[in-house]
Amino acid sequence: MKKVRCPKCNSYTFFDETRYQPGQRLVFVCSECKKQFAIQIPAPASPKLPQGGENEPEASPREAWVGAVIVVENAFHYRQEIPLEMGDNAFGRFVHGTNINKPIETVDPSVDTRHCIIRVQRDKDGQLQYILRDAPSGTGTFYMNDILRDQDRIRLHDGSIITIGATTLILKLSEKD
């Protein structure tokens, strides 16, 4: 089952994607606001050819992967896996017009639209570092049940537990590090 979000009211509509062909256009009517909207089933990605010679290995999609944050499912949202990228990863509640790069799809009112930031960078030895800070937020950011002050910068490790509002996040590091 796949879900699509209504562009007007943000409510979800679920459908069975296996019943449709790649490239097919589907039209939905939102059950909440009655807005009509369309999507197109994506076509399968064509295999990429190596840019250089024949013996050059193809770049894997996980090559640039530096970790992810797992959003633990609760009454406010479903389980989500949000990939991390180098630099600042600003987490918060998804709202149209929010200026964050890692939105969490939740109705948890205690999660701010810009709640916390995880910075991914390399140290002097080239190892990846994951550094957590509060955005600042209204309800605070907790690391392993300790609240962060605005000036705190916490170095995260694989399995670190972060709590924002009633939402729990778990850091999953890259297999390379």
Q: Measure the CA–CA gap between 33 and 6, rounded to whole angstroms.
A: 9
How many domains is the chain partitioned into structurally? 2
How do residues 141-177 score in pLDDT, each as one tens digit? 999 999 999 999 999 999 999 999 999 999 998 665 4
How do residues 37-87 score in pLDDT, each as one tens digit? 778 777 665 444 444 444 444 444 444 679 999 999 888 888 999 999 999
Does residue 53 lie in a domain region? Answer: no
Domain extent at residue 10: 2-40
Please give the residue that has the higher pLDDT: either 25 or 163: 163
What is the per-residue pLDDT for 5? 84
Q: In what order do the strands lie in the sheet with 154-155?
A: 102-104, 87-93, 116-122, 128-134, 154-155
Closest Cα partner for 113 from 94, 133, 141?
94
Does residue 50 lie in a domain region? Answer: no
What is the per-residue pLDDT for 71? 95
CATH code of 74's domain: 2.60.200.20
Do 91 and 32 belong to one domain? Answer: no
Please give the residue that has the higher pLDDT: either 160 or 34: 160
- Per the DSSP assignment, residues forming a β-bridge with 133 are 117
Closest Cα partner for 28 from 55, 58, 5?
5
Do 75 and 156 belong to one domain? Answer: yes
Do 116 and 159 belong to one domain? Answer: yes
Do 74 and 146 belong to one domain? Answer: yes
What is the per-residue pLDDT for 58? 44
What is the model's pTM?
A: 0.65
